[in-house]
Amino acid sequence: MPEVTDTCHAGTPAELKSLAKGVRQQNQQLLVNTLYDECADKSIDEFNADLDQIKSLSDRALEENLEGIDWDLVAKTCCPDRSGEDCRIKWLATNPLVNKSTQLTAK
């Protein structure tokens, strides 16, 4: 995979903060959805423990995953002046954790 470069305008710090919040929310929702899909095999105590674990994840952990992110929803809720593709490109270009891992994968 080639190095990600930013083809959009820089964005304001507030926009980048909002974008990060959207990515975190998306990842948390994906994890909760997976937990609900698997809840038939769990006791209520196991379910609650897993839910507490999701709630306690660090911002960094929630910002690293990109799989399953609905970028159009992120754009709609967090950056209404951007498209989903703009948000995805902006996130890849400005998030050092994601950008670094993307560059390492390309090498």
Rounded distance between C-alpha atoms, residue 8 and residue 86, angstroms? 7
Taking only the tens place, the pLDDT of each residue in 2-41 is 343 333 445 788 888 999 999 999 999 999 999 999 988 8
Rounded distance between C-alpha atoms, residue 83 and residue 90, angstroms? 10
Specify whether the CB–CB gap between 75 and 86 falls below 8 A.
yes
Rounded distance between C-alpha atoms, residue 106 and residue 86, angstroms? 21
Lookup result for tokens 């909760």: 32
Q: Determine if the pTM surpasses 0.85.
A: no
Rounded distance between C-alpha atoms, residue 107 and residue 103, angstroms? 7
Taking only the tens place, the pLDDT of each residue in 30-89 is 999 999 999 888 899 999 999 999 999 999 999 998 999 999 999 999 988 899 999 999
Q: Single out the residue of 63, 59, 49 nearest to residue 98, CA to CA.
A: 63
